[in-house]
Amino acid sequence: DGGITQSPKYLFRKEGQNVTLSCEQNLNHDAMYWYRQDPGQGLRLIYYSQIVNDFQKGDIAEGYSVSREKKESFPLTVTSAQKNPTAFYLCASSRMGQGGEKLFFGSGTQLSVL
């Protein structure tokens, strides 16, 4: 099955801890994205990558970091600098890194603070 796989589905973070959310795609898409969704809200862009070894900050990048060493993978690290990390995190990909492309989404990771 082609698609995007996010793991884990649920994640708990302790105070001062960094945690990493995994996102893998086998759609051969060039572009990948991370969004944050708070309850009852829309999606806000954290980081995006249009090509391997390159990525750009989105609207709310502070407290987050990413890497894009492989085309298939775009992990997101929520650092201890992110003071309000509790949210639903969604990874997406598109064929090319342009706004006119439709996005394919993973099933999300719910991050909570202990």
Partner 1 sequence: SQQGEEDPQALSIQEGENATMNCSYKTSINNLQWYRQNSGRGLVHLILIRSNEREKHSGRLRVTLDTSKKSSSLLITASRAADTASYFCATDVEGAQKLVFGQGTRLTINP
- Would you count residue 63 as binding partner 1 (CB under 8 A)? no
Name every residue whose Cβ is closer than 8 Å to that of residue 112 and which is 6 or more positions away in sequence: 10, 11, 12, 13, 86
- Would you count residue 20 as binding partner 1 (CB under 8 A)? no
- Would you count residue 76 as binding partner 1 (CB under 8 A)? no
List 32, 92, 93, 111, residue binding partner 1 (CB under 8 A): 92
In this structure, are residues 98 and 33 in contact, taking their beta carbons and an 8 Å threshold? no
Count of H-run helices and E-run strands, the chain: 0, 11
Residues that bind partner 1 (CB under 8 A): 4, 6, 33, 35, 40-45, 48, 50, 58, 88, 90, 92, 97-100, 102-108, 110
